[in-house]
Amino acid sequence: MQKLQLPEPSPEAQAASAQLSRLIQQKISANNGWIAFAEFMENALYAPQLGYYTGGAAKLGGAGDFITSPEISPLFGGALANFAAQLLPQMSNQLMEFGAGTGKLAFDILTELHRQSCPPERYYIVELSGELRSRQEQLLKDFKEVVWLQQMPESFSGLVLGNEVLDAMPAHLVVKAENGWLERGVRWQDDQFIWVDQPLKQPEILAQIPAQDDLPIGYLTECHPIALAFMRSVAQMLNKGDGGLALWIDYGFPAAEYYLHQRDQGTLMCHYRHHSHTDPFYWPGLQDITTHVDFSAISYAGEQAGLDLLSYTSQAGFLLHAGVGELLLRTSPTDPMRYLPQANALQKLVSPAEMGELFKVLIMGAKTSLPAQFTQQDRRHRL
């Protein structure tokens, strides 16, 4: 195992990681000594009781490995509540959140909707992790409208939310060779996981990569068939309903920026104790593994499945049009002890140098439309 200069896990955590490594080794052995990276990533994140999202380790916040927008400030959830309050009257008064993490975003959205006297009839949370669900249940115990689901329903009418969901879906790594594309996968050798490239068995996954002939030999990038299939499933669910929107917030790029020549090592990143690095083999199950979102491919999958592409913009643009500045001004600037921490948190959410530009907002809908202010600063032409 490559040694990174990072905090050492506890003995219990190391034992859990070793157990997960043995499980992945068994899967490699059962597959002729090699698995696609997507399968490694799926097990590292989601193996029952052992994966990063299915085990018991703290993931989010100051004690975890990274901080998401809801953890930074309740203003983020408050702005999403403002958006929901404008949209829900024209559709069923229901929300559905995928990947709800600690439940902080749901808490902030519901708190603000109750404050505005327009609570939803139902707030569904689709959660696969038993450990995260237990944390959500504790935080949201006072909101009787919350209902947990283990899988998405066949049909849904209302607002679907996903904050940093698409980036955590297993991705395939592909590399351009002299005679075509290869898939980068994982082998267990000399008591460690190593990279091994093999012929690509699913060449159709390359369809999301534009101008492939122009990319140089050795170019490494990701393909996202699982995220695209998920988007198609959400589209099918919304199309069977009476009107709905899907809103995704994540870090990523349109295809023209995703597959730049200088991005020749892809976007794969790992997050451990607030350190970022590129070694997914470091303590499997104890760190997050992500890739950036190809928003062109996601939007195209949604459109092909019958959704309308309604908006694509920056996180800063969306939050500002959703009234996040007005939410901040509920706290008087004459009270600096309370105002300044909130202002600093908002700066992190909207600054182009922080999360405001890296994070994008994609909104797709079925049988519904957006209020006029959310079509400003629109970047759909970039997709």
48/155: higher pLDDT: 155
What pTM does this model have?
0.95
- 30, pLDDT greater than 50: yes
Q: pLDDT tens across 207-246, in order?
A: 999 999 999 999 999 999 999 999 999 999 999 999 999 9
Mean pLDDT over residues 88-93, rounded? 89
Mean pLDDT over residues 111-122, rounded? 97
Please give the pLDDT value at position 152.
94
Please give the pLDDT value at position 129.
80
Q: Secondary structure of the chain in the HEC alphabet?
A: CCCCCCCCCCHHHHHHHHHHHHHHHHHHHHCCCCEEHHHHHHHHHHCCCCCCCCCCCCCECCCCCECCHHHHCHHHHHHHHHHHHHHHHHCCCEEEEECCCCCHHHHHHHHHHHHCCCCCCEEEEECCCHHHHHHHHHHCCCCCCEEEECCCCCCCCEEEEEECCHHHCCCEEEEEECCEEEEEEEEEECCEEEEEEEECCCHHHHHHCCCHHHCCCCCEEEECHHHHHHHHHHHHHHHCCCCEEEEEEEEEECHHHHCCCCCCECCCEEEECCEEECCCCCCCCCCEEECCEEHHHHHHHHHHCCCEEEEEEEHHHHHHHCCHHHHHCCCCCCCHHHHHHHHHHHHHHHCCCCCCCCEEEEEEEECCCCCHHHHCCCCHHHC
Flag the least confident range among 24-28, 129-133, 183-187, 331-335.
129-133
pLDDT-based confidence at residue 266 (cuts at 50, 70, 90): very high
Range of the domain at 44: 28-170+224-382
Domain-located, residue 73: yes
Domain-located, residue 255: yes
Domain-located, residue 228: yes
pLDDT-based confidence at residue 75 (cuts at 50, 70, 90): very high
- 60, pLDDT greater than 80: no
Domain-located, residue 372: yes
Domain-located, residue 16: no
Domain-located, residue 317: yes
At 220, phi and psi to the nearest 5? -110, 130
The number of distinct structural domains making up the chain is 1
Average pLDDT value for the chain: 93
Domain-located, residue 199: no
Please give the pLDDT value at position 64.
53
Q: pLDDT tens across 286-321, in order?
A: 999 999 999 999 999 999 999 999 999 999 999 999
Domain with residue 104: its CATH number is 3.40.50.12710
Q: pLDDT tens across 320-365, in order?
A: 999 999 999 999 999 999 999 999 999 999 999 999 999 999 999 9
Residue with tokens 């959310």: 374
Domain-located, residue 3: no
- 140, pLDDT greater than 60: yes
pLDDT-based confidence at residue 55 (cuts at 50, 70, 90): confident
Please give the pLDDT value at position 1.
44
- 76, pLDDT greater than 60: yes
Mean pLDDT over residues 11-39, rounded? 96
